[in-house]
Structure 1
Amino acid sequence: MVQPHGGGQAAVDVAVAAVPLLVVAGVALALGGQHRRYGLVRGWSGQLTMASLLSCAGVVAYAVWPLPALVDGLCPLPVGSAPSEPADRPHPAHAPRELLLGCAVLLPVGFLARDRFRLGLGATLVLGGALAAAASAVRATGLLGVYPCAYATTSPPVVGLGVVGALVGWAVARWIPPLLPGGPARGWPSAVADRAVPEPSRRALACVLDLGLWWYGAATLTALARLFGLVRPAEGETVRTLALLGAAFVFGLVVPLLRRDRCTPAAALLRLALSERDRPEPAARWRVLLRVLLLHEPVTALVALGWHWTALAVALVHASTAVVRRDRAGAADLVCGVRVRTRSTLDGGLPDRLVRYRPPLPEPGADVTSTPGSPAADR
């Protein structure tokens, strides 16, 4: 029987897998929007963009931490079966560590609101208060009722300290950068054409996001199947492994063969593409198939089987040539005769926010030549 609130261990298993899946999907979509609107993520503004994603992930982690995986022993004993506590005992949420954490987790939010997103003080305080209240609600309700009881403590003073943290971060971004020797650097991005060879870090991030989506997607699908009684608990590990391999087959093999950029979903969001070695054209499908069989499928299969260090070794062998070559070609790229480029290299697209020059339109009648000797000829 499905119980949406406090549904026991099966509902907790769904939460443990779904929360990281939502975080990974959110990061992938945010990076996709960044690359689509502004092109290459670079410089100080690019570092602030990555910091904003980490800050959002930090707020989510604070709201759900420690996200217990088991229900047994989580809830306190019923009244009367446990010794009574002293009435003057301080609230658990008012410990110095909890108060400091509640303030510090929103300090980057205030800094980024000012330096990256150019928000005013009022908007920053509203944003900080909303995030602090939302995190407190998640902690106080046991992940919005998924858990049978609250597993993390909170209180209104903790919410207030979150607003204070956002205020301090905004003040630091407002007053400290002008005092630096070089002056304040521009924190908001400017659109640039994304035509350079992708850095190994960008390609590695795409692979990590793809693997995270497949791993947590398979775990979430398996947990939902257990929640609805479609899979027995003893079959959970087998079903998750099969789901992970199925996701790698569909999104790592079938989807790239159907797309023009020949990329997996996360790599497509980061505006990457696979092209021929000598010309900016989509790579032949047989080359893409060979590359997937040499790189993506073995790594995913090793992770699914629990051989994580072997999977890391395979990835490092591929990256060993990418970090030393000017064209950033990995070992599998050299074998298959493909190169990783940006999507703009293939289709000539430009970022949405790029300023394009348009010549001014001629005024009405400006192209009319006056008759010599007429009154308008002397004007």
Structure 2
Amino acid sequence: MHITESVITLVLFALLAPVAILPWIGWHYAHYGRLRGWSAMIAGAAALYLCGVLAFTLFPLPPRTAAACVGDHHQLRPLASVADVLRAGHGDLVTSVTSTEFAQVALNVVLFVPLGFLVRYRFRRGLPVTALLGLGGSLLIELTQGTAVFGLYPCPYRVADVDDLMTNTLGAVAGWLIAVAVGRVLPSAVPDHVEDLAGPRLLRRGLAMISDLALAAIAGSAVGGALTLLAEPPAHHYRTLVDLVAIVAVALATTLVVPLLRRDRATVGQVIFALAPARAAAAGGSLAVAGPANVVRRFVGWWLPAAVLIGVEHTNVVAAVMLLLGIAARVRHDRRSPVGLLAGTVTTTRAALPGHDHGRQPQPVTAVSAGGGGTGPAD
């Protein structure tokens, strides 16, 4: 089966990176209630580091030419990189440490320093765990490169080097030691747990909405691309239509079917950010869990049109509408957006949802308190 570079890029970067990052964000909200301040910066740095390592080790993908598969793409001699550095320097220390060969070795060490730092500083793990994670992560990278992305590419396009296992592991250990030295003077990277009862800010609600749209766009496009690749060649002429149907199908599943099956009526994006829609009540009154009719109105009024626009490559229109929704919600005292008004819902945190089991008696939530502040769209 012939898989184009664009599809590999889509699946390995645009799809796998968010899949790895979004549960990390959801885990923070589930365990700590809020994600803000210094601890949020550390969490964001960890997510960006994961994306950076993925991009650095896999991309760019070279053109599919015969020249790309020429040469040996496996280096299995331990310490061969050290010999290369010494050879490049011709016995001169300054020349050796300023050579391209030394820079390559140093880069492999530096690449895993943040991993070791985060393992010690954020996750409070010991040196043996750090070394094993460095070795395991490096081994996964080398296997990916040495097997041509596990057979997705015609041949290896990066050199799988046994020395990288040692230099990457050394970098992780160095990062752990740096964290030991400076971690005492830095603020705690672990956020304090707070009851997530206050009304969610518009930014958090907007990120949940973006997550739902991104999931539909990425997963739908990946499914559409796979279907066209598996079909006969004439099917490629209908790629746009296939993508449209796939994107709408994913949106249908994540923003209509899943909420109808869940007791809290939350979309997948809202689940990630520990949010849920509640049926709007009179000012000062308590909220109730949203019903199926609210979910259907929300889907028909927003998610379906947005998915169709993304499917026909009008994502810019969706972004503009989201901005307008955020502005409209920002000017209201209760922070309800037009989507929420249409659906008859107000977005609240899952912990504050009436009847939520979180170790305390449910407390009523007012429509005003569920509004929150900040900027961004809301539903």
1:137 match? 143
The answer to whether structure 1 residue 127 and structure 2 residue 133 are counterparts is: yes
2:356 match? 348
Q: Distance in 2 between matches of 1:41 and 1:348?
A: 20
1:320 match? 327
- 1:256-287 per-position Cα deviation (integer Å, ceiling 9, x unaligned): 23433222112123221011233331234434
The answer to whether structure 1 residue 113 and structure 2 residue 113 are counterparts is: no
- 1:17-49 per-position Cα deviation (integer Å, ceiling 9, x unaligned): 332323322223333333333332334333323
1:75 corresponds to which of 54, 68, 77: 68
Shift of 1:340: 0.8
Between 307-316 and 98-107, report the one with greater CA deviation.
Answer: 98-107
- Structure 1 residue runs of 5 or longer lacking an equivalent are 1-6, 80-87, 352-379
The answer to whether structure 1 residue 304 and structure 2 residue 311 are counterparts is: yes
1:243 match? 246
2:365 match? none
SS in 1 for 2:270: helix
- TM-score for both structures, normalised by structure 2: 0.75
Q: Distance in 1 between matches of 2:315 and 2:103?
A: 35
Structure 1 residues 131 and 74, CA, compared in 2 at 3 Å: closer, same or farther? farther
2:216 match? 214
Q: Is the 8 A contact 2:131 2:169 kept in 1?
A: yes
Q: Distance in 2 between matches of 1:39 and 1:283?
A: 22
2:168 corresponds to which of 159, 162, 170: 162
1:22 match? 16
Q: Give the 5 Å matches for 1:4-43.
A: 7-9=1-3, 15-19=8-12, 20-43=14-37
Q: Distance in 2 between matches of 1:139 and 1:224?
A: 22
Q: Identity rate of aligned residues, in percent?
A: 28
Amino acid at match of 1:29: P
1:200 match? 202
Shift of 1:289: 3.0
SS in 1 for 2:289: coil
Q: Is the 8 A contact 1:261 1:268 kept in 2?
A: no
- 1:110-149 per-position Cα deviation (integer Å, ceiling 9, x unaligned): 1110111001122212211221221122123211222111
1:60 corresponds to which of 46, 54, 64: 54
The answer to whether structure 1 residue 281 and structure 2 residue 288 are counterparts is: yes
2:367 match? none
Q: Distance in 1 between matches of 2:135 and 2:292?
A: 51
Structure 1 residues 266 and 235, CA, compared in 2 at 3 Å: closer, same or farther? same
Amino acid at match of 2:48: L
1:377 match? none
Q: Is the 8 A contact 2:266 2:276 kept in 1?
A: yes
Amino acid at match of 1:270: F
Amino acid at match of 1:60: L
Amino acid at match of 1:184: L
2:159 corresponds to which of 150, 153, 163: 153
Shift of 1:230: 6.3
Q: Distance in 1 between matches of 2:261 and 2:236?
A: 36
- 1:274-323 per-position Cα deviation (integer Å, ceiling 9, x unaligned): 11233331234434333333332332222221122211100101111445
Q: Is the 8 A contact 1:193 1:350 kept in 2?
A: no
Amino acid at match of 2:357: G
Structure 1 residues 141 and 126, CA, compared in 2 at 3 Å: closer, same or farther? same
Q: Distance in 1 between matches of 2:144 and 2:221?
A: 22
Structure 1 residues 165 and 204, CA, compared in 2 at 3 Å: closer, same or farther? farther
Q: Distance in 2 between matches of 1:294 and 1:317?
A: 15
1:188 match? 190
Q: Distance in 2 between matches of 1:173 and 1:331?
A: 47
User: How many residues in Structure 1 have an aligned counterpart in Structure 2?
Assistant: 330
Q: Is the 8 A contact 2:38 2:187 kept in 1?
A: yes
SS in 1 for 2:348: strand
Amino acid at match of 2:323: L
2:362 match? none
Q: Give the 5 Å matches for 1:91-106.
A: 98-99=104-105, 101-106=107-112
- TM-score for both structures, normalised by structure 1: 0.75
Q: Distance in 2 between matches of 1:134 and 1:63?
A: 11
Shift of 1:168: 3.1
Shift of 1:100: 5.1
Structure 1 residues 156 and 324, CA, compared in 2 at 3 Å: closer, same or farther? farther
1:359 match? none
Q: Is the 8 A contact 1:102 1:161 kept in 2?
A: yes
- Structure 2 residue runs of 5 or longer lacking an equivalent are 73-83, 89-99, 360-379
The answer to whether structure 1 residue 48 and structure 2 residue 42 are counterparts is: yes
Q: Give the 5 Å matches for 1:349-368.
A: 349-350=357-358
Which protein, 1 or 2, shows the higher relative CO under an 8 Å CA cutoff with sep ≥ 6?
A: 1
Shift of 1:173: 1.9
Between 109-118 and 157-166, report the one with greater CA deviation.
Answer: 157-166
Structure 1 residues 194 and 125, CA, compared in 2 at 3 Å: closer, same or farther? same
Q: Distance in 1 between matches of 2:107 and 2:32?
A: 34
Structure 1 residues 113 and 326, CA, compared in 2 at 3 Å: closer, same or farther? farther
